Structure 1
Amino acid sequence: MNLIAPTITMTIIISLTMSAIKPKMAKNTLMLLFTLSLIPVNHMLNNNSELTVSSTPMITMATENINISITLDTLSLLFIPVALFITWSITEFSTWYMSTDPDNNKFISYLLTFLIAMMLIITANNMYQLFIGWEAVGIMSFLLIGWWHGRQDANSAALQAIIYNRIGDIGLIVATAWLMTKSSMNIQELLNQYETTSLIPMMGLLAAATGKSAQFGLHPWLPSAMEGPTPVSALLHSSTMVVAGIFLLIRLHPMLNNKTMMTMSLILGATTTMFAAASASTHLDIKKIIALSTTSQLGLMMTMIGLNQPTLAFLHMVTHSFFKALLFLCSGSFIHNLNNEQDIRMMGGLMNTSPMTASFLVIANLSLMGMPFLSGFYSKDTIIETMMNSHTNSWTITITLVATVLSAFYSTQIIITALTGYPRITINNHKEMKNILYPLTRLMTASILAGYMMKISTLQTTSTITMPKTIKLTALIAMMVGIALSKDISYMTNQSKPHKLNVLYTLFNQMAFFNIPHRAITMGTLKMSQQASTELVDLWTLESWGPKGLSNSLIHTIHLSTQQKNLIKNYMTTFTMTVMISLILMAPKWS
């Protein structure tokens, strides 16, 4: 049994590379690999074992032996099937969504390369492998977000994503350099001596996770990334890229056991959750609303890391992957049917034109809200209950409950505005073909059952908490309040005239004006450099190489050819004085 897991992992990587030739072949390979990847999961759930496979050293140094090392433990063995299942569904959906794209095969190859890069992060047992996978997902996100590179916005979004990630990557490089000099590159060895870890690598890892998982401060790139095709958004936000930052902290969590680090993670996560949920409530682009909801859920995972509950963060990461992929694919189906219209105000009556997709969207939104017995409920509700168990987290729990209300608010807003009422735009309605319905049905089934299946696994190891019924129902009450608010505001503002936006609305809509500094700094730098270069060219280059240069080059020639120095005043003065002296000297003779 121990030989099955590494064999499957290597088969996954080789098969994905080979199957990138044809979309249909890629879909079938992913389906087969998903089925195979469930075999070691069954063994792991029964025995809770861990397996490490290492190659012989490829590079031998005085302090480190660099080799390929794969670890298959609870985290990697559970997340590999999730990533394969979601990529399988997205690949099948892409064969319809990107059918008119001339580079459809290349697009599927990029998606599979993205998956392989995430596999590297998941299974890495040393920091070198992890760093290679980390950079690879960044490069692939750049290529996929800027897929329609003929559009200026897509290019800007791709650059924004890579630059924000490079800022975070500085933290990972610093942490890796520190570990290289003070500790070990091997993650197993590293976690055995974590008591000696200082704050430097911890802060580096937190910065890396902040950049990759779009926490508050480095968050603007995630909504901008919606310029890419919808399948890219679905893959980016569910099982690759953005969860890599949280996965890094979960993997190295024993190393982060420090009060300062935990407090910072807690504050950062809670702020991100509330801010992103408030921002999503002010947006009208369906893809940006769902993108900001991802940031909000990532903040929730960061909060759990701050509360020393990495298992719960991982549980939410798994359940969130399914309903987030489903939300994006449903919205992609609607956008395709509405001739690329993304504004929810322009939608309406989609429940009648695309009933199956609309039903799936409702289920995904309910799961995101935390509706009881859907997958989101099992992780989100447990997270809120865990926060309730401590008196010191009153600020965090308040912020999280506000975010829960807002999550229900914007999710209900999508359902009411987009699905009900009457069509507000000409619909180019496509039949709900099997290429659309099969992947959506699979993801919908997972969005319903994943939480329950994880509940009976070894993931939920938190102790049973005894609490009053009111506190137990707090998450449910918050969700109901959000739904009621959304419904009331929708009916109250349905017929109202356009009005000037208030400051608070603009603050959240413009992502706390984080876009302004990087625009202002960029423009300021460009203007300063343009002015400096222009002045240098005018005052220095042209002046010294032009008139002054020519005159200076001629001076020596003039001096050689004549004594004439062009000093007219001096010449006239000398001439006048000579004449005067001559006259004075000649005066006695004349007399």
Structure 2
Amino acid sequence: MANLLFHTSLMVTIIILLAPIILPPPSTSINITAAIKLATLTSTLPLLLFINLGVKSITTNFNWTNMNFNFQISFTFDTYAVTFLSVALLITWSILEFTNWYMATDPNHNKFSKYLLLFLIAMLMLTTANNMLQLFIGWEGVGIMSFLLISWWHARANANTAALQAIMYNRIGDIGLMLSITWLAMNLNTWEMQQMFSHPTTPTLPLLGLILAAAGKSAQFGLHPWLPAAMEGPTPVSALLHSSTMVVAGVFLLIRLHPLLEANTTALSTCLCLGALTTTFAALCALTQNDIKKIIAFSTTSQLGLMMLTIGLNQPELAFLHITTHAFFKAMLFLCSGSIIHNLNDEQDIRKMGGMQKTMPITATCMTIGSLALMGTPFLAGFYTKDLIIETMNSSTTNAWALMMVMMATALTAAYSLRLIFYVQLHAPRQLTWNKPYENNKSQTTPLLRLATGSILMGLLVTSIILPNKTQIMTMTTMTKMSACMVTVLGLMSALDLTHKTTNMVYPNKTINHTAFTQLVFFNTLLHRLTPKANMNLAKTSLMLNDTLWYETTGPVMMKNMNTMLANKLSSSNIGMIKMYLMTFIMTMIIMMPLTSLWHT
């Protein structure tokens, strides 16, 4: 009975999600929001059954095609899929409700809401897939929808550039995924995940392809520039993309396929070092940004690096726990930033804000809660997962370099979060606008309060549902236990000099390091400007040499030399007859006509 109820409620949830897409228009944004709300409520039933009875299933619907091995459409509803389903639906419901206020004046508002719904469906296809081809379809689906949504305001050149940038960087990662699934098909003769996991070992090369795919989708160091550039899209897109779709797809891929990685020390060390480098680099960049959305975007990259590091620690359950808690406060931070930006006539520079705690108290309160949860403040959602990751890192036997980088990133997280609160909420308003900020729309404030509740309670709820299967160290020194809180307090103390800042116009005294991290250590300049310029100069030189070597030599120069040679030979026997000169010219033209036609082709 429990299994029947479990499967029925899951199918009803999926049908409700597909209804606004399948049914003929009109399908308004209000109807789409209502469908998501109903699907969220329905998805709580399988979650409760899973919590109380531990019901899991792998559902095979029908054979799709027969290749060297049978390929079946099958879904897995396990700990990861059932938990993520409810979390993603709840966050998407809040974002779509906020969209009804934020995008109310957009003429294609209904189309935008459908795109967000398709974005969610593609991510759910990825998370519930039981074979690699279904996973790849969901993988490409979130990539396509991110391109369409980032370039939503396609009249802006920056939006189109950002969307193309996202596609190009993700395509690099997709190459790794395609090569890996090709290797799995050829060597393991299956794409079914349960059969793949039954094989004893997997070589390093296909695992590195999976890590490359995750690095591209989750914006790890080296493939990270597309994520801050994606802030050119509407704020609801940023909230959904950074919380429960797209960027967490890469980390989720490694969590789902972790049985292939867990015995390979090279792959785990790669994840560990890549995650440690990403989390610190992104935190340093966030500390120097002035665009409110880019600060939050870099904080996402930093947290994704922490999740990648956790996979390197051989703790996929902890990485998934951090995905679920991070989704709530990251979506809330983006919606708070969208509320502020929309009320300040699209102003995104935090130096031109201020005083939001009095003019927009609900938004300011939710932003403070989200920033505190991001820091890992005790008893908020981020604390239960982030603190546990750092404790696991401290008690592990992995390299000390990664530990030092993570502790530095934790301190920097507290610093840039305090900087965001200081510039946006405190002191007198600095914005140049005639419109007084307001919060008189329920579609603006209700989603923020719902996500704020999740940011407070979700850590305790999720850690009660999912406990790590790996052996944990239950006793540790007081210093190790308090290390995460200590470095957070250290970061706050280091940022207290912000309170001595003045609002008067003074000449900025920027250091070389500050300028470097403001420009992402000149990563975009080197990769997007100097490298194409060098390639163009090389191509230009090559073409010029090519033209000089054969194109010009076999064409006009040869014709000129032949005419000159014949004229010189005939000049010695100059008899003054016009017929002889005319005959010589005609013979030269007849000889050169085939060469001239070849030259033009």
**TM-score when scaled to structure 2?**
0.89
Aligned equivalent of 1:398 = 404
Per-residue CA deviations over 1:151-185 (Å, capped at 9, x if unaligned) read 11111110110000000111101110010011120
| 1:147 equivalent in alignment to 2:152 | yes
1:128-527 pair list within 5 angstroms? 128-183=133-188, 184-193=190-199, 195-257=200-262, 258-427=264-433, 428=435, 429-460=437-468, 463=472, 465-492=474-501, 497-515=506-524, 516-527=526-537
Aligned equivalent of 2:12 = 11
| 1:118 equivalent in alignment to 2:102 | no
Aligned equivalent of 1:67 = 72
Aligned equivalent of 1:573 = 572
Instruction: Give, as a single letter, the amino acid of the residue that structure 2 aligns with 1:450.
Output: M
> Residue 80 of structure 1 is aligned with which of 65, 78, 85?
85
| 1:2 equivalent in alignment to 2:12 | no
Label 1:430 to 1:186 Cα distance change in 2 as closer, same or farther (>3 A): same
Does the 8 Å contact 2:6/2:49 carry over to 1? Answer: no
Q: Secondary structure at the match of 2:62?
A: coil
Per-residue CA deviations over 1:289-315 (Å, capped at 9, x if unaligned) read 000000000111111100111111100
Label 1:320 to 1:571 Cα distance change in 2 as closer, same or farther (>3 A): closer
Q: Distance in 2 between matches of 1:371 and 1:568?
A: 94
Per-residue CA deviations over 1:306-356 (Å, capped at 9, x if unaligned) read 011111110001000000000000000000011111110000001111111
Q: Secondary structure at the match of 1:425?
A: coil
What's the offset of the Cα at 1:493?
6.6
Label 1:567 to 1:494 Cα distance change in 2 as closer, same or farther (>3 A): same
Q: Distance in 2 between matches of 1:157 and 1:439?
A: 27
Q: Secondary structure at the match of 1:431?
A: coil
Does the 8 Å contact 1:5/1:72 carry over to 2? Answer: no
Per-residue CA deviations over 1:534-563 (Å, capped at 9, x if unaligned) read 887899879988x689999x99xxxxxxxx
What's the offset of the Cα at 1:124?
0.2
Per-residue CA deviations over 1:210-248 (Å, capped at 9, x if unaligned) read 000011111111111100000000000000000000001
Label 1:145 to 1:542 Cα distance change in 2 as closer, same or farther (>3 A): farther
Per-residue CA deviations over 1:490-544 (Å, capped at 9, x if unaligned) read 4257668334532322332222322122322223334544666688789987998
Instruction: Give, as a single letter, the amino acid of the residue that structure 2 aligns with 1:272.
Output: T
Q: Distance in 2 between matches of 1:542 and 1:572?
A: 27
Q: Distance in 2 between matches of 1:567 and 1:201?
A: 67
Q: Secondary structure at the match of 1:2?
A: helix
Q: Distance in 2 between matches of 1:101 and 1:523?
A: 39
Q: Distance in 2 between matches of 1:568 and 1:31?
A: 91
Identity %: 49
Instruction: Give, as a single letter, the amino acid of the residue that structure 2 aligns with 1:270.
Output: A
Label 1:542 to 1:91 Cα distance change in 2 as closer, same or farther (>3 A): farther
Instruction: Give, as a single letter, the amino acid of the residue that structure 2 aligns with 1:82.
Output: V
Instruction: Give, as a single letter, the amino acid of the residue that structure 1 aligns with 2:37.
Output: M
Q: Name which one, 1 or 2, has greater alpha-carbon Rg.
A: 1
Q: Distance in 2 between matches of 1:575 and 1:439?
A: 99
What's the offset of the Cα at 1:481?
1.6
Does the 8 Å contact 1:315/1:460 carry over to 2? Answer: no
Label 1:198 to 1:18 Cα distance change in 2 as closer, same or farther (>3 A): same
Per-residue CA deviations over 1:124-174 (Å, capped at 9, x if unaligned) read 000000000001101111111111111111111101100000001111011
Instruction: Give, as a single letter, the amino acid of the residue that structure 1 aligns with 2:240.
Output: L
Does the 8 Å contact 2:218/2:249 carry over to 1? Answer: yes
Q: Distance in 1 between matches of 2:421 and 2:83?
A: 32
Aligned equivalent of 2:32 = 26
Q: Secondary structure at the match of 2:63?
A: coil
What's the offset of the Cα at 1:17?
3.1
Q: Secondary structure at the match of 1:514?
A: helix
Label 1:186 to 1:568 Cα distance change in 2 as closer, same or farther (>3 A): closer
Q: Secondary structure at the match of 1:69?
A: strand
Instruction: Give, as a single letter, the amino acid of the residue that structure 1 aligns with 2:20.
Output: S
Q: Secondary structure at the match of 1:150?
A: coil
Label 1:573 to 1:521 Cα distance change in 2 as closer, same or farther (>3 A): same
Instruction: Give, as a single letter, the amino acid of the residue that structure 2 aligns with 1:119.
Output: L
Q: Distance in 1 between matches of 2:418 and 2:521?
A: 24
1:84-99 pair list within 5 angstroms? 84-99=89-104
Q: Distance in 2 between matches of 1:449 and 1:436?
A: 21
Does the 8 Å contact 2:422/2:498 carry over to 1? Answer: no
Instruction: Give, as a single letter, the amino acid of the residue that structure 1 aligns with 2:461.
Output: M
What's the offset of the Cα at 1:58?
1.7
Label 1:206 to 1:537 Cα distance change in 2 as closer, same or farther (>3 A): same
Aligned equivalent of 1:562 = none
The worse-fitting range, judged by mean Cα deviation, of 83-92 and 471-480 is 471-480
Q: Give unmatched runs, 5+ long, in structure 1.
A: 556-564, 577-591
Q: Distance in 1 between matches of 2:503 and 2:481?
A: 35
Instruction: Give, as a single letter, the amino acid of the residue that structure 2 aligns with 1:320.
Output: H
Instruction: Give, as a single letter, the amino acid of the residue that structure 2 aligns with 1:18.
Output: A
Does the 8 Å contact 1:52/1:70 carry over to 2? Answer: yes
Q: Secondary structure at the match of 1:473?
A: helix
Instruction: Give, as a single letter, the amino acid of the residue that structure 1 aligns with 2:535.
Output: T
Q: Distance in 1 between matches of 2:458 and 2:553?
A: 74
What's the offset of the Cα at 1:41?
1.2
Q: Distance in 1 between matches of 2:443 and 2:449?
A: 11
Aligned equivalent of 1:588 = none
Instruction: Give, as a single letter, the amino acid of the residue that structure 2 aligns with 1:243.
Output: V
Q: Distance in 2 between matches of 1:383 and 1:347?
A: 35
